[in-house]
Amino acid sequence: MSNIHLIFGFHVVVSRLRQHPDSIREIFIDSARHDQRTRDLIKLAETQGIRLISCDNTRLTNMAGARHHQGVAATIDTTRIYVDIDDILDTLSEPARLLVLDGIQDPHNLGACLRVADAFGIHAVIAPKDRAVGLTATVHKVSSGAADTVPYIAVTNLARTLRKLKQRDIWIVGTAADADNHLNSVTLSGSIAWVLGAEGEGMRRLTRETCDQLIRIPMLGSVESLNVSVSAGICLFETYRQQATIKSASSD
C-alpha cells in the first residue's frame, strides 16, 4: 500500500498544515476561488514552504471522485508522522491510554473512532497495516481533523505489538460479546490499551488470546451489538471517568 494519500476539504487540509506540515507534499487549490478562507490557507501554506498548485475545479473533482473537495486537496506522506509506538510512549508523563483496532474496514468507522479517541485524550490509535482501511481521504474527512491530532500507528504484527505493550506494563483489555465481565465491573486505572475488533467479525483469535482481560458492554435493549465507534466511545469515556475520579481523589 502506498504511503502517499490525498486529503480533501478546507478543515482537513488546514488541520494537517497546523499539526504536521512536514508531511504535506503539495496543495491543489481551485484557481477560481479567491475568498478569505482560500487566502488564509494560501498564506499558511506559504509560511510552511508548501508547494501550491493552482488548477481548475474539474481536475479537483476528478481527483476527489465522489468526495466533496471544497476546492482544495493535498497529497500527504504518512511515513513522515509516526513510525513506532515507542515514539509516543517515551514522551508520556502520565499513564498511557491507547485504542487498538483489529482490522476495521469501513473508513467511516475509523474516522469516527479517531474522533472519539481525540475527545477522550487517547495517546495513539494502533491498527494492522494489512486487512484494515488505513488513513484514506474519507477517514480524514469523517474524523474532522482528529486524524491529524491523534497519532495513528500501523503495525505489521498486531499480536506482537500487544505483547510489546504488555512489557511496558500496559493492561490489554478487549471487548467481546461473550465476555464474563461487564464494563461497569472492572477497574480501569493505570496504563491501558482497549482492543476492538472488526465490524461483524470481532477480534481475530490471536488478538483475543493476547488480551489480559475481556469485557462486554451491558446491553439492555433488543439490539445485540453496537457500531465499533460507539463501543469505542463508551469504553474510552468509562476509562476517562474512572481515571479522572481517581486523580481527583488523590489531589484532595
pLDDT digits (tens, 9 = 90+) for 83-135: 578 877 877 788 999 999 998 999 999 999 999 999 999 999 999 988 888 88
92 annotated as ligand-binding: no
Give the CATH architecture of domain 85-251: 3-Layer(aba) Sandwich (3.40)
C-beta separation of 208 from 155 below 8 A: no
The grid cell for 161 is 505489538
User: Which residue is associated with the grid cell 490557507?
Assistant: 41
Q: Where in the chain is the domain with CATH 3.40.1280.10?
A: 85-251
The Cα–Cα gap between 93 and 244 comes to 16
* Radius of gyration of the chain from its Cα atoms, rounded to whole angstroms: 20
- Identity of residue 185: S
217 annotated to a ligand binding site:
yes
Residues 150-205 have pLDDT tens digits of 888 889 899 999 999 999 999 999 999 889 999 988 999 899 999 999 877 789 99
**pLDDT for residue 1:** 44
Looking at the chain, which residues constitute the CATH 3.30.1330.30 domain(s)? 4-80
Is the per-residue pLDDT at 82 higher than 80? no
pLDDT at residue 90 in the model: 76
Determine the CATH number of domain 4-80. 3.30.1330.30
Binding residue per annotation — 221? no
